A and B are shown apart, each in its own frame.
Chain A
Amino acid sequence: MAEQVISAPRSLPVGPVESHGVGWNGMACLIASEAALFGYLLFSYYYLGASNPRGWLMEPHPDLHLALPNTLLLLASSVAAWWGERGVRQESKGQALAGLALALVMGTVFATVQVYEWHAKTYAPGTSSYASLYFITTGLHMAHVVIGLAVLAMLILWIAFGYFSPLRRLPVSNGVLYWHFVDAVWLFVFTTYYLTPLLGFAR
């Protein structure tokens, strides 16, 4: 192989093409690190849940009326973002803008509902370790949602400027990947705080 690199060099892509480029590897590292962060948060929840006596859960029967539709909404926003990215890949600016804008709106609604949920709680972060964990975990997730929304907003702007093409679109693919990650993390948070009590954890 060594000789061929010099004697018969192949044509190589120049700069990031499609979703290939070192920027993609960088995004993968960021996601790995952030996923670990939420892993430690959930570890803290299970650890405290397991080491406390019964009655630690402040919501042994979590109310799913808002949380479940909100979760579905966030998942749907991932689909919208994916559809928008497809718009970029197929050189359809309209679809790209519509998809990402839809994701942006859905994400904003999710965040608003979540803020409402916080206000409706009968406890505050200082009430107990359960309450602290609930607010800080959902709060850190919210911080990621806000960053994700800012990313989507910038992508919409850049697409509107006509910056991307099916070949040059790494920032779009990276940004949308981040949004998928934010949504995936919520599934773990949701499962932990809303579903495991129903299954009997720490009740």
Chain B
Amino acid sequence: MTPARSQRMIADTPEIGEVTQALRDRLEAIWETKPGFVGWLASVDHKEIGLRYIVTAFLLLAIGGVEALVMRLQLIGPDRHLLTPEQYNQFFSTHGMTMIFLYASPILSGFSNYLFPLFLGSRDMAFPRMNALSYWVYLASALFLYAGFVVGAGPNDGWFNYVPYASREYNPGLNMDIYALGMILLGISTSVGAANFIVTVFRCRAPGMSINRMPVIIWGTLTASVANLVVIPAVSLAFFLLWLDRQFGTHFFDPAGGGQPLLWQHLFWMFGHPWVYAIVLPAMGMVSDGLPVFCRHPLVGYTAVALATVATMVLGFGVWVHHMFATGLPGLSLSFFSGASILIAIPSAVAIFAWIATIWLGRPILTTAFLFFASMILLFVIGGVSGFMTASVPVDWQLTDTYFIVAHIHYVLIGINVFPVVGATYFWFPKMTGRLMDERLGRWNFWTMFAGFNIAFLPMHLTGLMGMPRRVYTYPAGMGFTTLNLITTIGSFLFAAGVLMFFWNVVKSWRGGAEAGPDPWKGPTLEWAIPSPPPPYNFAVIPTIATRHPLWEDDLDEGRARSTLDRGMTLAHGKEALATTSLDGEPDMILKMPEDTLAPLMLTLALTLLFAAMLGKLWWLAAIGSGAVLAALIFWTWPRRQLLEREAAVHG
């Protein structure tokens, strides 16, 4: 295939072939990332990017964890002075920001990035360059956000950053400006990533994979991405307006000039609540896909679970006000939002019953991954019940801003995010590295984390019910909090030890774990049909899908339809992938995929320069930054012949 021919070709009948070594060699040459540092910087391979996401997010989990441990040392007994009140404020705010924005969501993006094309039988994401961009901008915003904390100017008003305390009057330093601009930068990364997931799901599935045959995690990430796409602008706008109020004397949140502090809360929670679901739904999807493998039984109630995922988000849009029950809103609106918040328990219950039924009907194999997935169900129930309680307005008035809420947050976030994610690592690590993780160490890892977590956070409900307020740097002796706090701190360190064992297991197994082979768990979905680690092009031939469990068709005997995995379109005339129709997954067009490029990194550097200049109000530098952004965008979008974005013109 010469480039000249491909340029003039508007339509073509794809060649059909078998998987042969010759084909593999040809694809390898087309798809592999170039060696060397520049090749590494320019890579647009979704697996490379996914791994970077995962490693970065786990690093940030560790950093946020260290902050948590310092706080727990401060709270180990009454009247301690390890941290000053201001330092404590920065610690809990930075911890919250790190965990929610820099760990919980990016880690899921990492897994989805790595796994989406493998689940879907595709060669890459729909927009590989945008994929690289979303990672680089994520990294840049993490550094940007941490720059303040490192020099003692971290956020100090909690992760949701309420005005007026975030206003300049009370917070004259750069703390909030860094937080505000950093969050806008991070918003770019998340939005770009969300758009990529959405288009990939709708356009890049293997032929025959109609939407009722997608793995559940795809439903989770898709739902989360749709939500992110439309709610991220709310929080970016809120932070932008805050920055203007602080630096340019506007009056969005300032009552003296006709502004409204509650506007911040509305804008923040319109984003914040759907976001909370966005950081649990894909993790619930991990359990829905992982658990059945170890139960040797398909997920019970696939359709119900998929619909419940979507329903959770739809309701999630209607519950933002439940974070504001204590703000003095009209009674009727409180009732409405309270009702919606209670209703949202129903789709969650659907998922829980589906998992329990799957375990019940299957023959569970107690691997480490299974333990993590199954324990999540229990933690979810505890976190769900405490959340359900605070959905009721009178109860919320009693409990808001106490440690009861801190307990709830951690049951939900650690229970529904960290546990499934660690389970998912045990489950998919063999696919990503070709090696199994150590099961013996895995057991130790699981039980230490599980025990530590519950020792730390179960008593915290009680601490809250007894009235200990959250976000307070210490407490006096004789209030009845002392023993409970001591237990919590001990539990926290145990939990942290468990997480360390996990990291250790990853490092150890990556270096010298047992060979995994393509399909160590006998999984049902497409990723297990290809070598571990997958070759750069993923699938040598594009698979054709006939059922929801392409690799379990013979065992399940659900009908005569069979998927074809070893014969299909070869698409080896350059970097090519297949696009299919949105709902039925019929072949629709052949995509020309972009080569590795430095454009995403250049755009990220330009954006970072622009944001740093805005922070320092150095307008000449901001002008340079804007110019650089423009230049990077023009370079990026310049129509390329290789991508068939333009004709092979005689001139130009």
Contacts and interface: CB of A to CB of B under 8 A. Distances in A.
Interface of A: 1-3, 5-6, 9-17, 20-23, 25-26, 29-30, 32-34, 36-37, 39-41, 43-44, 47-48, 51-52, 56, 125-133, 135-136, 150, 154, 158, 161-165, 167-168, 170-171
Contacts of B260: 47-48, 51, 129
B199 A15 contact: no
Interface stretch (B232-240, B347-355, B427-435): B232-240
Contacts of A41: 237
A9 to B, nearest CB: 5
B229 A32 contact: yes
Contact of B126 (A22, A130, A170): A22
B592 A15 contact: yes
B234 to A, nearest CB: 5
B229 A171 contact: no
Given A51-B260, A126-B248, A167 B10 contact: yes
A16 B229 CA distance: 24
Contacts of B199: 22, 25-26, 29
Contacts of A9: 13-14, 16, 569, 587
Contacts of A165: 647
A135 B650 CA distance: 47
Contacts of B587: 5, 9-10, 12
Top 5 closest pairs, chain A to chain B, by CB: A15-B644, A161-B652, A29-B195, A132-B250, A37-B233
Contacts of B248: 125-126
Contacts, number: 205
Given A2-B546, A163-B646, A132 B259 contact: yes
A26 B195 contact: yes
B556 interface: no
B639 A171 contact: yes
A163 B649 contact: yes
Contacts of A132: 244, 250-252, 257, 259
B266 interface: yes
B13 A10 contact: yes
B4 interface: no
Nearest to A162: B649
B645 A16 contact: yes
Main secondary structure of the interface of B (DSSP, over half): mixed
A56 B191 contact: no
A163 B647 CA distance: 5
Interface residues of B, number: 78
Interface in B212-240: 229-234, 236-237
Given A1-B586, A52-B258, A136-B241, A12 B11 contact: yes
Nearest to B251: A129
Contacts of B536: none
A20 B267 CA distance: 35
Nearest to B630: A150
Contacts of B562: 2
Contact of B589 (A12, A26, A51, A133): A12
B555 interface: no
B647 A164 contact: yes
Interface string B1-35: 00000100111111010000000000000000000
Nearest to B561: A2
Contacts of B586: 1
A66 to B, nearest CB: 24
B203 interface: yes
B249 A126 contact: yes
Given A29-B195, A33-B233, A48 B259 contact: yes
A15 B250 contact: no
Contacts of A43: 266
Nearest to A58: B258
B123 to A, nearest CB: 13
Given A20-B589, A40-B267, A14 B230 contact: no
A37 B236 contact: yes
Contacts of A136: 241, 244, 250
Nearest to B541: A6
10 contacts: A5-B569, A9-B13, A14-B590, A15-B645, A17-B10, A36-B231, A40-B237, A129-B251, A132-B251, A163-B647
A22 B647 contact: no
B257 A128 contact: yes
Q: Most A CB atoms within 10 A — which of B16, B207, B258, B651?
A: B258
Q: Most A CB atoms within 10 A — which of B191, B630, B644?
A: B644
B643 interface: yes
Contacts of B546: 2
B227 to A, nearest CB: 11
B208 A1 contact: yes
B414 interface: no
A129 to B, nearest CB: 4
B639 A158 contact: yes
Given A6-B544, A21-B589, A154-B634, A56 B258 contact: yes
B2 to A, nearest CB: 14
A99 B584 CA distance: 39
B250 A125 contact: yes
Q: Most A CB atoms within 10 A — which of B259, B544, B643?
A: B259
A54 B590 CA distance: 60
Given A12-B590, A13-B590, A129 B644 contact: no
A49 to B, nearest CB: 10
B567 interface: yes
A12 B586 CA distance: 11
